[in-house]
Structure 1
Amino acid sequence: MFGYIICNKKGLSQEELDRYQKVYCGLCKTLGERYGQMERMSLTYDMTFVILFLSSLYEPPEKEESFRCAVHPTRKKIAVENKFTEYAADMTVLMTYYKCLDDWEDERNHLKYRYAKILEDSFQKTVQQYPRQSRIVASSIKELAAIEKSHNSIPDDAVNCSGKMLSELFVYEEDFWSNSLRSFGYELGRFIYLMDAAMDYKKDLKKKNYNPLVSMQKKPEEMEAVLTMAIGNATHQFEKLPLVQDEHLLKNILYGGVWQQYYARILGKEKSHD
C-alpha cells in the first residue's frame, strides 16, 4: 500500500492513540525479529490497519510487552502482538519487494532496486509460506504493468487490477469471511490506486508515466467525487462485518484518515472526520 491508510489523530482519544501506536510498534518489533533490521525500513501504518481490521473480526489472543527500540532508545516502547502481526509483517515484505521493483521499472530508482535485492531472501520466505497471496499479487502486478504500458487500456482496467491485488491480502485464510474480506480489500485497493494517481499526477505527467486521470480527463482537484464513491464502496463492505473491537479507530481511518493527504496537498485545506 502507499501510505494513505492512516488515522486522523484529531478524532481519536488518547487511549485509542496509544492502542494504535502499540500495534504499530508490535509490527515494527516483529519485522525486526522475523527478518532483520533492514526489513524494518519497510514499516507502514497501512499494515497497522490490516492488523487492527483482522484482529477486530477474529479477536485472536494478544500479548503486550515493553521493549527497547533501537530507533527510540531513550525510553521503552510497548508492543501489542497477535498472529496477524506476523502475517502483516510477511505481507509488508511481500508488497515492499514488488513496490521496489516497480519503482525500478518505472523510474530506474537504483536505491529501490538495491533494497529489493536486500529483501530477496525474506521475500522468498513469504512466497513459500503464502503461495496464494504471492501468486495473486505477482499476477496482478504483471497485469498492471502491461496495462500501464498499453495505449489502448481504459482507466478501470488498472483500477480493478489494483483492487484484485489488494483483495487477497485481507484474506488470511479461506473461511466463512473470505468473500467479504476479498470484497472489502478489492474496493479499498481501487480507492488506493485512484488516490495514488491523484497524488502523483504532476510527477507522472513530468516523467511521462501512466496515470489513469489523463484518460479520465480529470485533474486531481476534480477527483473528490470519484474518490468518495470508491471509498464509499469499501466502507459499505466494511459496515457489513461484525466489528466491535477498535471499531471507532477503524472508522476514523476509513472515513477520515484516508483523506488527509488529498485535502492537505491537493485541495489545500483540512477535512475532519470522526
Structure 2
Amino acid sequence: MIGYMRPIKGAFDKEQRKIYQAVYCGLCRILKSRYGATGTLALNYEIVDMLLMIDSICSDKSKWIKRSCSLSPFMWRNLAGLNEQRYFMAAEISMIIANFEIQDNVEDLNRVQDKILLAISDYKLRKMGNQGKDVYEILEKKYLEYMSKERMAQKVFCGFESVVNACGGIIGTIGRLLSEVSGIREISDIEKIFNLWGRWVYLVDAADDYVEDKKYDHFNPWTLKDTPPNWENYVYCLEKEAGTLINYLPVRRYGDLLKQLYVIQLPERRRRIFNKLYEQTWETI
C-alpha cells in the first residue's frame, strides 16, 4: 500500500484529473479533520483507487463540495464524500494500514524514527470511534495472519501462494468493508478484485525491492519462486483476472478513468519495474 497504484503523471485527461483530484482531496480533508495534519500522511493512492471503484458502481454519485485545500488554504478544490460514510471508513482504514506499515518497519529495521512514528500512530488510533475500532480488529486479524505466514515462509514452513494470499486477504477485506458500508450488492466481486490488487501491489513492491532485500538478507516472497521472467507472468495473470472481473461490474460512472487506472497504467508500471529488475546484474538474482 505504498503508491504502486499512483497515477502516471500526464496520463489523465482534464475530466479524469478533476474526478481523481476530488476523491483524493476529499479523503485528505477527512483525514485532517479527524486526525490532524499528521493524519494526511496516511493518505495513499491505493485507498483512493478503491474509493473510485466503489463510487463508480454506487447508485448515488458522491457529492462534491468546493473548499480550501487541507495543506494549502489559499487553493480551492472540489472535495468528494465529505459527508459520506464510506469516505469516513476509508479514512479510518488509511490510518490503520499506515499503522501496520510502521509496525512492519519497526520489526524489520528497528529504527528510532519508526518507533517514534509508531507511538504517534498508536495515539491517533486511540482517538477512533467504535466503528474505527471494529474495523481495526477485523483488519488486525488479517494482518497478523499475513505476518504469521511471512515468518513461517522464512523458515520454509509454508510456500509462496500462502504468503501472497494472506496479503491479498487484507486488501480484499477492505473491499468488503467499503462495499458493505456503501450498500452495494456486488460485495463478493469487489472483495475478489481488491484481493487480486493487494497481491499485485505486494508482488510488484517485492520485485522493486528484490536486489536490496537480497543484499541485506531481508525476506522477499520472490525467493520462494523460480525465475524473474515467470515472476512477471504471474503478476500479469493477476492483472488479467482482475480485469475480467471488472468487466462484469455494473459501472455507472468513471468508466474511462477506471480503464486508464487499471487496464492501461497498472501494466505499464509493472513493465517498468520488471524491466528495471532485468537490467540488474543476474549475479544478484
Residue 214 of structure 2 corresponds to 205
Take 2:50 and 2:115, find their aligned partners in 1: how far apart are those partners? Answer: 26
Residue 4 of structure 1 corresponds to 4
Residue 163 of structure 1 corresponds to 168
Take 1:145 and 1:152, find their aligned partners in 2: how far apart are those partners? Answer: 10
Ranked by relative contact order (alpha carbons within 8 Å, sequence separation 6 or more), the top structure is 1
**Deviation of residue 16 (structure 1)?**
0.8
Take 1:157 and 1:238, find their aligned partners in 2: how far apart are those partners? Answer: 25
Q: How does 1:180-259 map to 2 (within 5 A)?
A: 180-219=189-228, 223-259=231-267
Q: How does 1:67-86 map to 2 (within 5 A)?
A: 67-81=67-81, 82-86=84-88
**1:199-257 alpha-carbon deviations (Å, 9 max, x no partner):** 110111112111122221323x6633221101112222222211121111112111222
**Deviation of residue 62 (structure 1)?**
2.6
**1:61-95 alpha-carbon deviations (Å, 9 max, x no partner):** 53322323353344222211233221211110111
Worse-superposed segment, 39-48 or 181-190: 181-190
Residue 279 of structure 2 corresponds to none
5+ residue gaps in structure 1?
269-274
Take 1:113 and 1:248, find their aligned partners in 2: how far apart are those partners? Answer: 42
User: What's the % identity of the aligned pairs?
Assistant: 20
* Equivalent residue pairs, number: 267
1:108–1:218: structure 2 CA closer, same or farther, 3 Å change rule?
farther
Take 2:197 and 2:70, find their aligned partners in 1: how far apart are those partners? Answer: 33
Tell me if structure 1 keeps the 8 A contact 2:7–2:265.
yes
Match of 1:200, SS? helix
Match of 1:67, SS? strand
Residue 125 of structure 2 corresponds to 123
Tell me if structure 1 keeps the 8 A contact 2:146–2:163.
no
Take 1:127 and 1:143, find their aligned partners in 2: how far apart are those partners? Answer: 24
Residue 178 of structure 1 corresponds to 187
Residue 112 of structure 2 corresponds to 110
Take 1:213 and 1:32, find their aligned partners in 2: how far apart are those partners? Answer: 37
Match of 1:210, SS? coil
Take 1:229 and 1:64, find their aligned partners in 2: how far apart are those partners? Answer: 36
Match of 1:77, SS? strand
1:34–1:258: structure 2 CA closer, same or farther, 3 Å change rule?
same
Tell me if structure 2 keeps the 8 A contact 1:8–1:252.
no
Match of 1:3, SS? coil
Q: How does 1:133-148 map to 2 (within 5 A)?
A: 133-148=138-153
Take 1:259 and 1:233, find their aligned partners in 2: how far apart are those partners? Answer: 13
**1:165-222 alpha-carbon deviations (Å, 9 max, x no partner):** 1110001228742222221122222212211111110111112111122221323x66
**What TM-score do the two structures reach when normalised by structure 1?**
0.87
Q: How does 1:54-65 map to 2 (within 5 A)?
A: 54-65=54-65
Take 1:129 and 1:59, find their aligned partners in 2: how far apart are those partners? Answer: 26
**Deviation of residue 148 (structure 1)?**
4.2
**Deviation of residue 131 (structure 1)?**
5.5
| Displaced runs of 4 or more, over 4 A | none
